[in-house]
Structure 1
Amino acid sequence: MVLRGNHRIAPEVGRAYARAVRRLAPIGPQEPRQPWLKLLGDGADTAPHAAPGSCAVEIVPQDYLAEQFVLQEVLDRHHRAGVPFDEIAVIARNGAMLQRLVRMFQAQGVPVQQSMSDVVLNQEPAVHPLLRILDVVADPEAQPVELPEALTLLTSRYGEADSMTLRNLRQVLRQQERRSAVGEPRSSDELLCAAINTPEDPVVAAVQAQERYRHLTRGAARISAMIRSGRAAFDAATGPEELLWAIWDAAGVSAHWAGVSRKPTAEGRVADQDLDAVMALFQAAERFADQNPGATPQAFVDHMERLELPMDTLAKTSAGDQAVEVLTPASAAGREFDTVILTGLQEGAWPNLNPRGQLLGGGQLVDVVEGRTDTSAQSPLVKRMSVLQDEYRLFASAVSRAKRRLFAVAVHGQEESPSMLLDLVVPPNERTARGSAIPRPITAPRLIAELRCHLEHSFQRELDGATASPADEQEREAAARALARLAHDGLTGAHPDQWWGLPELSTEDPLLGPEDVVRVSPSSVQTAVESPLQWFTSAAGGVEATDFSRMLGSLIHEIAEHHPTETEVDVLLKELEQRWHSLGRDEGWEAERDRRRAETMIGKLAQYFRAAQQEGREVEARELQVEATLEVPVPEVQHTDEDGAVTPEARPDLTRTVQIRGVIDRVERTADGKLFVIDLKTGRGKPTKDDIVTHAQLGAYQLLVSLGAVDQALTSAAGEDQGSGTARPERPSGSLGAALLHVGTGVKKIDLQGQTALGEGDSWPLEQVTLAAQVMSGARYDAFHASQGRGCRIGALCPLCTDAKQVTQP
């Protein structure tokens, strides 16, 4: 059957299609080609009743601008031409560009839908973890999950952990391990693996039982449940479908994702795509089982992970209302759209003239079937022309998907050139000059931001003394009316109630009431005293991500804890070599430099351990958990009278409870029974000689010694080691002082900064703890910049930094 008429393509789009058809070698009856070729010749319309259309081409210097032009075209067609989103298609030659476009549309809040036939399934965030768990549970030897796999699963869609969550989970597990460990405490890596492999582990179970840590352990518990359910369902007769369902069902995310997917938000679109990917995975498992009867689940995993190209799928995907389609030419076949946008038209990419079927000889088989076995048909030029014909067919198919509007964009840069196919859309002599150099696609968030910015700057100029002209007042009123209309339609950020900085403070009450216990650690005393705002931002979660320097410091601490009296450098270096892999450092010159730095730290540790033995100090404990409770006075209350005068009112009769809790790296005892507290530092900086005299962290440690808390902790630790209780000493041990042991500085000899023992009249440590407790329980937090030129660690919230400001400032 021959289709002779055109019932949908506008004449302008038809001419672009005709130019593509003209490049195709004639095959079979030529009658269907004639109307299109005639359209190029005399302009006679093949579809006289079709709506008018248009074609346009843009050549830009950067990939980013190409994406912006695509976005602008979509928004213009939707808002100005009234084209529904589901009548707009963006077609690209390869899947990698499709993924970039999908991310771009999602970031801009444009609803987008991608066919699962264009997705490399094993790379989908919701599929990859399922395949990894399927591989783990299908292992006949039931090997436990190793650390790299555990981290991958914990940070997946199902583990829901980010770097901050992992860091907090490691700390919580490590603290619980130190409290309950009988022998050598396990590392945080071992505890993370235990949380997945053996959730009944006493330490893991104790942490999961606490409600305040539920947000940290939820992901690990889900991963563990998925693995356990899969292993329970696995046997020799279990196919990949049944095992995959057991794992998916144990995840318990189906109902939640389905509910989120109904919301018109970015999270909803992600959940919608995740559900589509999981559906496609189940369909792939079903087809694999049908094609390979008796195949094991591991064979299915191996099959899926070998895929490097999108696979065909018959799985149904959710049909979201009003979503832009992102397609390849193959997946767009058989469809039609009002508007088609062609992107990625680069020389070498589309057309892609690389030979096909070279590995398995598929092209040669086609040549034999079609009778092209003579020498002339096998020449490289003929094969190249054959590939070019295939590319023309793909391009013609993509062009013919459009009814009224065809838009093409390409990049012309130092390393990229536009494709010759661009000339088939609009010939160079028919192109119009671009109206603006850089597109400014107006999405809803961008429109709201610009309207708010215009209002803010307009009022700010008036506050600065400038006189508003009638035109300025009209623009201001128009912007306000536009925001009111957007707010009435429910767009986020348009209503003033949603603007940061304008609503009243939810509360001005202090962080803790007078009856609440203030929990203070010796290390936090230093920060709270020197920079209250930095302490508050850190306590609220605004801490730097764990970098390699911190990880290296933790490793040095662990080696010092496990070998507290080892004076042989070779023994410590061997321990470093055994643990180095846990840092996950790739080989290279940076790793070699860090390794040499770590070896230098180890050498300084051995040097100090040797000096301590020579001076007659014995190690009493390492990583000792110490706590003490004391009462401190409540700060004076400020009263403001009607005239605005502030009168402080002291309350000497009121006190509040402060609990000091911390971990001392090393406690030594001299021959005469005095205690010497050591805090190990692996950083490059250190306090000055003047600062060390009243160093708050060391002062807090000495306060714990004077209160007898260190003696009590030593007694408790000795009782646990011996399996029996030990009598608490009647009076605190004497103190030799405290010191910072620096192993990361450039000093070659032992770098020990000591703080002399407290005298009977020294009350400054208690005063610092009291001040820190007042800061930690207060309602306002001051900002101070550290001395000695050290950079501000508060960040964007610091009011003293020139590059930081309040969100309400212009």
Structure 2
Amino acid sequence: MAVVARAGGQLAALRRGLLAAQVPVNLLGSDVPLRDEPAVRPLLEVVGIALDLEAAVDPDVDAASPVDPDVVADLLTSPVGGLDVVGLRRLRRALRAEERAGGGGRASDALLAEVVEHPSRAATLPATVRTPAERVARVVEAARVAAREPDADAQSVLWAAWDATGLAERWQRLALEGGTAGARADRDLDAVLALFRAAETFVDRLPQASARAFLDYLGSQDLPADTLAAQAVGAGSVSALTPAGAAGGEWDVVVVTGVQDGVWPDLRLRDSLLGSQALVELLARRELGGTEGEAGAAARRAVLADELRAFAVAVSRARRRLVVTAVDDADERPSVFLDLVQAAPEEGRTPRRREASLDLRGLVASLRRDLVEDAVTAGSAGPGAAEPRNAAALLADLARAGVSGADPAGWYGAGDVTSDAPLHPGDERVVVSPSRVELVDACALRWALETAGGTAPDATVQTLGTLVHAVAEALPDGGHAALAAELDRRFPELGLTPGWPATQTRRRADAMVERLAGYLKDRTALAVEVPFRVDIGERATLRGVIDRVEATDDPGAVEVVDLKTGRNAPSKADTEQHAQLGAYQLAVELGGLDGSKQPEGGPGADLPDGARPAGARLVYLGTGRNAALRDQPALDEQPDGGAWAAELVDGVARTMAGSAFLAQENRLCGSCPVRRTCPAQPEGRQVIA
């Protein structure tokens, strides 16, 4: 297949679009100067750095800073170095860290240049950035060694640099594998071949010229240069050509594109700088025309004839099928040449077709969409309607060919439900954690998905909260100085990299510890991190750990305290029936603290037997001048005697034991990590639609 466009600029846009649609393209020549090719520019930069460094060795040459740091950065992020922008930033930071450790103060630009100048400089860098830096330094050193040879020329220095990169084997392997990466490797190898062909021609013409002269020669080229170097032509690739490039060739399918008014034909008068065409007409004794207007009309007729001949060449290249395209809208009009191929359709009868996908993945997706639409149409038409066979038959062919996604066995939602058995069959007891009671009650589906692994990885905020809880456990009655010292000792456990994020995290930790110290000043802890396990109702086993159990004025009553490191405290009204606090009080009421004594002499040694709950409290350490307190009255002091807590825990256990979990919108939806799998949210509605 071939695609023919009037001008080379159109071909460049066509090539980008086809490659984006996974279509391999064979484009003759290049749309950028040779020096700007992504595969060529790094090699030229390597040679330039090598020549600058060798010139700086000469005592007669004043080159205090021969290497441009911007060029080094570009080289490190090229295929030679292989770093991305983030990796380059890490390399700069590693160099600065070593410089500061050695007592120096140079900027990272100077340190980058030093890495290239001295290959051994990168040996002390971290492993994550050492290999790319060593690779670039090795390539530059190879070019420097070649440049020192007495008979060194552009070819020999370039070859030494290219051979040291080791890219030839990798690009060859990618080119043979095909795909988008293969097409990129094909183009890169073509560009390198063109570079060596240009170097060979330059050396043949100017045997005594230096490698620096060759770099200046390529640097002066602002237009793409023709090349006689061999170029890769992949099997099954589309040839993108101008009419002149298509002359003499034939293809089964030819698409002539961009046949727009003002583009084809292009009737602008064209001639050489000195008007040589008029001289040819005069010497051939042909009439040049009388008046200036007659001469201009004759020239335009000649241009139109040339444009028509080019169009005739383009449309005559197809063996089997010819497609000519143009756009007709408010801004564009088809060319009159389009009528030479086929007359325009009648008004109002222009066919509208859905855009087809050009790669297998997109084709499978469009066929599956058509299959669903045809099935819906056939179902709504009633009995006797035509069945959607076309899309299904093509999908079956693609599935037999092994195309991914074509086999219905792998379609999401097409199979039967794997199992409808409950998570906890029969009378099996369900373990309920107080910290999850509120979540299960608010949205059972979120609980089920998070339990199955649908949670985000721990963030710094979560690990910081764990650290503050550990400090509070180690010093349940500690003052500010003791708590701050314990934080100093434990803070490295977070493993934060030095920098402003670590500084900000430490400030938050210090503020939390200060609020914690203010809260503990007038409190007496009977026990900390108290485990419990009690049975509730027919299905629930309530199990968890209480952060603090504090003394009250009543020797037989205790207060349950839960430390929170978040910022958003519930309202006082919501706290009265807070699910987690209610579960803690229920556990104490049912004897959960019995047998939970702690080591002699420590907190918990005086924990009373048969303790009853006198209330519960949330202590928020994450924000404010002081810790924010939210109190819940004792269960027996509440209007229904606290029966809601037992009913809530038992109901949560029955929900957790079931086989279906309902999605419910609630105030926690904004921070839900499984929104895209929730049918109650726009992002997850397609799951069941």
Q: Fold-level match, TM-score > 0.5?
A: yes
Deviation at 1:444, TM superposition (A): 1.4
Equivalent residue letter for 1:207? L
Aligned partners of 2:44 and 2:187: how far apart in 1? 17
1:399 equivalent among 315, 318, 325:
315
Q: Taking structure 1 as reference, are residues 106 and 630 closer, same or farther at Cα in structure 2, changes over 3 Å only? A: same
Match runs of 1:699-714 below 5 Å: none
Deviations 1:62-86 (A, max 9, x none): xxxxxxxxxxxxxxxxxxxxxxxxx
Equivalent residue letter for 2:40? V
TM-score under structure 1 normalisation? 0.48
Equivalent residue letter for 1:526? V
Deviation at 1:363, TM superposition (A): 5.3
Deviation at 1:338, TM superposition (A): 2.3
5+ residue gaps, structure 1, are 1-87, 461-465, 512-517, 533-626, 632-656, 667-677, 682-691, 704-752, 759-786
Match runs of 1:528-607 below 5 Å: 528=463
1:152 equivalent among 65, 71, 74:
74
Counterpart in the other structure of 1:247: 161
Counterpart in the other structure of 1:205: 123
Match runs of 1:345-424 below 5 Å: 345-356=259-270, 358=272, 380-424=296-340
1:695 equivalent among 505, 508, 511:
508
Match runs of 1:435-474 below 5 Å: 435-441=351-357, 443-451=359-367
Q: Taking structure 1 as reference, are residues 299 and 374 closer, same or farther at Cα in structure 2, changes over 3 Å only? A: farther
Aligned partners of 1:357 and 1:702: how far apart in 2? 84
Q: Taking structure 1 as reference, are residues 359 and 803 closer, same or farther at Cα in structure 2, changes over 3 Å only? A: farther
Equivalent residue letter for 1:205? A
Residues 136 and 227, structure 1, Cα contact 8 Å, conserved in 2: yes
5+ residue gaps, structure 2, are 57-64, 419-448, 468-486, 517-621, 628-666
Q: Is residue 491 from structure 1 mapped to residue 403 from structure 2 by the alignment?
A: yes
Residues 116 and 280, structure 1, Cα contact 8 Å, conserved in 2: no
Moved beyond 6 Å, runs of 4+: 371-375, 429-432, 454-460, 466-474, 477-481, 496-505, 507-511, 700-703, 753-758, 791-801
The answer to which structure, 1 or 2, has the higher relative contact order (CA under 8 A, 6+ apart) is 1
Counterpart in the other structure of 2:18: 105
Counterpart in the other structure of 1:526: 461
Q: Is residue 229 from structure 1 mapped to residue 142 from structure 2 by the alignment?
A: yes
Q: Is residue 181 from structure 1 mapped to residue 98 from structure 2 by the alignment?
A: no
DSSP-derived class of the 2:14 partner = helix
Aligned partners of 1:141 and 1:800: how far apart in 2? 69
Deviation at 1:424, TM superposition (A): 3.3
Counterpart in the other structure of 1:658: 493
Q: Taking structure 1 as reference, are residues 137 and 372 closer, same or farther at Cα in structure 2, changes over 3 Å only? A: farther
DSSP-derived class of the 1:436 partner = coil
Match runs of 1:289-368 below 5 Å: 289-356=203-270, 358=272
Deviation at 1:336, TM superposition (A): 1.4
Q: Taking structure 1 as reference, are residues 478 and 91 closer, same or farther at Cα in structure 2, changes over 3 Å only? A: closer
Residues 134 and 244, structure 1, Cα contact 8 Å, conserved in 2: yes
Q: Taking structure 1 as reference, are residues 260 and 430 closer, same or farther at Cα in structure 2, changes over 3 Å only? A: same
Aligned partners of 1:317 and 1:114: how far apart in 2? 10
Deviation at 1:472, TM superposition (A): 11
Q: Taking structure 1 as reference, are residues 452 and 403 closer, same or farther at Cα in structure 2, changes over 3 Å only? A: closer
Deviation at 1:252, TM superposition (A): 0.5
Counterpart in the other structure of 1:763: none
Deviation at 1:259, TM superposition (A): 1.0
TM-score under structure 2 normalisation? 0.56
Counterpart in the other structure of 2:84: 162
Q: Is residue 256 from structure 1 mapped to residue 91 from structure 2 by the alignment?
A: no
Q: Taking structure 1 as reference, are residues 217 and 487 closer, same or farther at Cα in structure 2, changes over 3 Å only? A: farther
Q: Taking structure 1 as reference, are residues 438 and 468 closer, same or farther at Cα in structure 2, changes over 3 Å only? A: closer
Deviations 1:498-540 (A, max 9, x none): 88999999x98999xxxxxx9x9xxx633655899xxxxxxxx
Deviation at 1:254, TM superposition (A): 0.7
DSSP-derived class of the 2:3 partner = strand
DSSP-derived class of the 2:326 partner = strand
Aligned partners of 2:88 and 2:190: how far apart in 1? 28
Q: Is residue 141 from structure 1 mapped to residue 55 from structure 2 by the alignment?
A: yes
Aligned partners of 2:201 and 2:674: how far apart in 1? 53
Equivalent residue letter for 1:240? A
Aligned partners of 1:467 and 1:375: how far apart in 2? 72
Residues 677 and 687, structure 2, Cα contact 8 Å, conserved in 1: no
Q: Taking structure 1 as reference, are residues 121 and 368 closer, same or farther at Cα in structure 2, changes over 3 Å only? A: farther
Question: What is the alpha-carbon root mean square deviation over aligned residues?
Answer: 5.4
Q: Is residue 275 from structure 1 mapped to residue 189 from structure 2 by the alignment?
A: yes
Counterpart in the other structure of 2:38: 125
1:114 equivalent among 24, 27, 48:
27
Deviation at 1:256, TM superposition (A): 1.0
DSSP-derived class of the 1:315 partner = coil
- Pairs aligned (count): 480
Equivalent residue letter for 1:419? S
Residues 118 and 328, structure 1, Cα contact 8 Å, conserved in 2: no
Aligned partners of 2:286 and 2:515: how far apart in 1? 92
Q: Max radius of gyration: which structure?
A: 2
Deviation at 1:255, TM superposition (A): 0.8
Deviation at 1:426, TM superposition (A): 3.1
Aligned partners of 1:366 and 1:288: how far apart in 2? 35
Equivalent residue letter for 1:696? A
